[in-house]
Amino acid sequence: MQEEFYAIIKLISGEEIFALVSIDDSGDDSVVILQSPVTMKSFNHHGTSLMKIKPWIEMSSEDIFVIRYDRIITMTETKDEKIIEVYDRYLSESDEDQNPLLKNSSSKVDISENMGYLNSVEESRKKLEDIFKIPPKDVDKDIK
């Protein structure tokens, strides 16, 4: 197995992936091992350059994937520190999302009895009827 490096990979499906890559050519079939692969898309919004990053496979909880060479059109190593920094920051933020103990606790709001459930439907209906002075419906009047 070779050393790890950051790479941009173009697959035969047309997808472009950015990941920390290592190549395993020890067996008969050489494979590329991807660690936390993502798709990146850069765009400009009101004169600001932004980058959208998503996991390559969104529904998976795994972070290591194996691809055969015959599925890759091209692969290039990148040493662009800006892209690598954005990628590493994305991974560290997603780790914090998965582990609430890593989050900064100063932004948390404590739960109190005043939050959430305020009234029953019957109590709310009574209050609204009092506010708008709606007399209670009389079943006999509706029938006539």
Q: What are phi and psi of 127, to 5 degrees?
A: -65, -40
Under-50 pLDDT residues of the chain: 102-103, 105
The pair of three-digit structure tokens given for residue 65, joined into one six-digit string: 């994937």
The pair of three-digit structure tokens given for residue 77, joined into one six-digit string: 């190593």
For residue 102, the model assigns a pLDDT of 47
Report in angstroms the alpha-carbon separations of 90 from 25, 40, 96, 123. Answer: 29, 11, 10, 47
H-helix or E-strand spanning residue 41: strand 31-45
Looking at residue 13, what DSSP letter applies?
T
Residues 84-118 have pLDDT tens digits of 998 999 988 876 555 555 445 455 666 666 666 66
For residue 117, the model assigns a pLDDT of 65
Q: How far is CA 119 from the centre of its chain?
A: 35
- Residue pair 37/20 in contact (Cβ under 8 Å)? The answer is no
Looking at residue 119, what DSSP letter applies?
-
Candidates 3.30.230.10, 2.30.30.100, 1.10.150.650, 3.90.1150.10; correct CATH number of 5-100? 2.30.30.100
For residue 104, the model assigns a pLDDT of 52
